[in-house]
Every structure is written in structure tokens, then in C-alpha cells.
Amino acid sequence: MDEPLFTNIDLDPAFTYFLFIGELKAYGLNHFVAKALEREFDTPFKAISIAPDLIDTTAFTNLTVFNSTARSEREAAGRKVAYRTPMSVFSGEVSKSTYIRSLLDTLLKQQDHIFVWMFESRPELDLGHPDKITLLGPRADLIEHLNDKTWQYETFSKVAPVVDFMICCGTDALEQGLKELGERSPHGMFVSASHSAGGAQSMVCRCAKDALDRFTCPETHYLISGYTPHTHDPTVLAVVGNENEVYVAGVADMNIVDGNKFRGSTFPSILPANVQADLRDYTAAVGRELGKLGFRGIYGCDYIVTENEDIFFIEVNARKQGTTMEFCSALEQLLPDKAPSLFDMECYAVLHDVLPTDCHEPDFDAIINGDLHWGTFNHKVETDVVTTDVIKQSLPERTLFEQTVADGLHGHIILEHAGDDVLVKAGTFLGRVVAVAATRKDMLLELKNGTNRLAESIVNRETNRY
């Protein structure tokens, strides 16, 4: 049935509308996209969000939840179900939807053009009207290539330090590579399929057999590298304007469990200022290489840092990072009034092939020693669980940042909770925590309180792993 599971769209002729297509974890970023378009066109904009998430929808406006398989999932389970739909699948379904096509036709009767943005540009999205619909973000036809981990290491090892690695085509080559690399990797090996995200197609292993048991496709290209003991997992967010211009927003520290599972980040990074400066330089160099390929927009780079402060590049995410909202909300407080946001920069880069001339670099030393700290935690369930309550979002995320800067307050909010009496399938987000405070100590305390609240909202409480 080609009908939305939920919709509350209310069109106001006083506004021009753009589309956000993706998971609701990025819904808050619509504010910054609207401001970027208003800055460019000097007219008011509002978002229409098209999402696959089967969660409580009371906190969202102008939203359509579209998921063609949800009804059958609910019928089979006998209750509400939350599960993650791959964005490649969702993008294809949106493209084929007669409901969405009708919505586009309605909008194009009221306005000359529609801008669309996604958390990650997807080549499967085809809304037609190529002369009237513009994707605000990196070119979708680049994404599959840029997400190839084997290509990343071959390319970016020329501009950033990388760990000892090998690229293997097929399982026979993987077996031989694991044997060779294993002989010089006393701490184990990291193995990843060419395309992997969030640890879904990667693992840390000490025994080659463990990897060969898991990775069995003879046609897949694999990246294997020596596991390097390290003390920090920093991530850097930036924007490519073109092959010469890159804006670096800052450095955060990731929380990685089991060697490859991302669970959240904290900011500012506790790494020394000189190490953070090197991380920003490497990220800018990676961004310039992306720019040469035609990439324009927001991206992130992940690294590891050893006890001796040696830096190693791990991967580039050719998309928004999970903490883009937190970076945007923080920069809104840390930069001069009316300074371009990251989305101002992305919009301008896509439309004009250059960054805005009035960009302001953050005062990184002041941030490291400053009084704005934020942290996030993503509770992704590892087994199927059932919720016993819904946790409502208590206030807008940007307000949490504003209150901390204005009054020194500290607090946390729960975002995108799955809802009450919901079967949350393994690998799906139960919800997210965002904590903000004037000190790192208070921020970590708020983060702990939030993660505990999330864990208590399910029948079989999972161990808090922050």
C-alpha cells in the first residue's frame, strides 16, 4: 500500500518548502538548512521531512513517515515494531512512491524549485524533475566510490599517516593476507569489507579463522590492517568548498566499544592542542582530495591516537556525522553572530563551488579551555527488546546549548525514543542522549544519567556501556 504510516503536513503559502529525506536522527538539522536557504534566497523556508522511522512522532512537525514494509512487520509481531531500514532501500522506495510524486507535484504548483537534503546523499534517490529539484549536498554519484574503504586507504595514505594495511580481493587473498599481516601484527588485526559503516561489516580479530568464518564472499574486496593499541578515537568534522577550500569545525572524541562500534562522542576533545592541530591539518588535506573529485559539502574523518601521540587515519565518512547537530549547535554559540553555519557553507559550496567569504574559524584554543562541553550516546540494541515506556524530548536541542552558554546550566535530553510497548529489533536505535554542561565533569554526569534512563525504558535492561 503506497500510503504514509503517519503524516501531519500542513502547507503554508507564506513559506517555500524544502525536503529532508532520511532518518529522524537528523530532523533537528532542518533548522540550519532553512536558515542557509533563507540566507541564499532572502525568503522564508520550511522543511517537509520524509522518514522511515517507526517511533513516537509527537515531537515532529511537517512529517511523513513512509515505510512500505512496516504494516507486515507489525502484523507479524502483533505489536508496534522499530527497525532500521537501509537508506539505499528507503531512497528507492521514496523514488517509486506515487504518494511522494503527488506531494512533489503539489509543491511545484506553489513554487518554482524544490531543494532536497539528506544525511548521506544516495544514488538510489530519483525524484524526477531534474531541472526543478536540486540536492543540497555531495553528489550522489560519488558516494559509492568514496565509501570504499580499500580506495580510501590507497588514496589518503598519500596525505595522512595510516596503519600497516593490505587490500585483498576475495577470500583466498584474504586468507593469505591475514597470514602475512598476522605475522607482523602482535595485537591482532582489523578486517573490513570494502563498504562498511558502524561496524556492520568489520571486526577486530586475533585469529584469522574468526575473520574467514565471517567474511565468505569470494568477490568482495577486503581491507585488513594491523590493530594498533591506542588511547583515543578522535573524529573531525569539516566542509569541502572546492579542491582548495576546506573549513574544519573541530575535534571530538568518539566512544568506541568492541574495537569498531560507535556509541557517541564528547567535545571538546581532551587531546593536546598540538595533536588536535595535526588532526585538523590531515582532515583538511583529505578534504582537498575529495574536492578534486567534485565532492562539495560536509564530511568527517576518524582517527586513532596512540599513547605516544602518533596519529593514524582510519576512515572518511563522505556524509554528515552523527554529531553534526551538536557541532552546529555549539558553533552557533561559539562563533560571532550571523557567522555562516556548516549548512550555510554546504549550501553555498553546492550552488557556487566556493565557501562563503565571511566564514569564521573557531578559536580552537579557547574551545579546549572553555566552558561549553557536550556529549552524546547512541543506544543501539544488540538483541530484540520491548519498551515499557516512552521518553519524550523535553526541550529543543539548541535550547540546551543556549541555556548552558547563557546561564551555566547543565542538563540532558533524550531524542528519538522508540516509544511505549514497541518491539525494537536488534541493530536499531532505542534512542539517543545529548548532554551539555559548562564543565566536562557535569557533562559526563548528565550523559550517564541519560544513558541510565534509556536503559530503564526496556524490559530486559542492557548493560550501560558508556
CATH of the domain at 400: 3.90.1170
Average pLDDT over residues 112-119: 97
401, HSE (Cβ side, Cα atoms, 13 Å): 18
pTM of the model: 0.92
Kindly state whether residue 119 falls inside one of the protein's structural domains: yes
pLDDT in the model for residue 260:
67
Which residue do the cell numbers 540546551 mark? 400
- The confidence band for 362, taking pLDDT boundaries of 50, 70 and 90, is very high
Residue 209, pLDDT above cutoff 90:
no
Kindly state whether residue 145 falls inside one of the protein's structural domains: no
Do 400 and 441 belong to one domain? yes
CB neighbourhood size of 363 (10 A): 12
Q: What is the dihedral of CA 29, 33, 34, 38, to 10 degrees?
A: 150
CA–CA dist 244, 237 (Å, integer): 17
Percent of the residues in the chain that have a pLDDT greater than 70, as a whole number: 97
- The confidence band for 387, taking pLDDT boundaries of 50, 70 and 90, is very high
- The confidence band for 463, taking pLDDT boundaries of 50, 70 and 90, is very low
pLDDT in the model for residue 77:
79
| pLDDT tens profile 3-44 | 888 899 999 999 999 999 999 999 999 999 999 999 999 999
Residue 325, pLDDT above cutoff 60:
yes
Given a contact cutoff of 8 angstroms between Cβ atoms, the answer to whether 81 and 425 are in contact is: yes
Do 288 and 338 belong to one domain? yes
Residue 80, pLDDT above cutoff 60:
yes
C-alpha cell at 339: 557567522
C-alpha cell at 79: 505489536
* Residue 432, beta-bridge partner list: 378, 415
The mean of the pLDDT values for the chain is 92
Kindly state whether residue 157 falls inside one of the protein's structural domains: no
C-alpha cell at 24: 529522524
pLDDT in the model for residue 203:
85
CA–CA dist 415, 53 (Å, integer): 13
Residue 462, pLDDT above cutoff 60:
no
pLDDT in the model for residue 461:
54
pLDDT in the model for residue 366:
96
Do 394 and 413 belong to one domain? yes
Tally of structural domains, the chain: 4
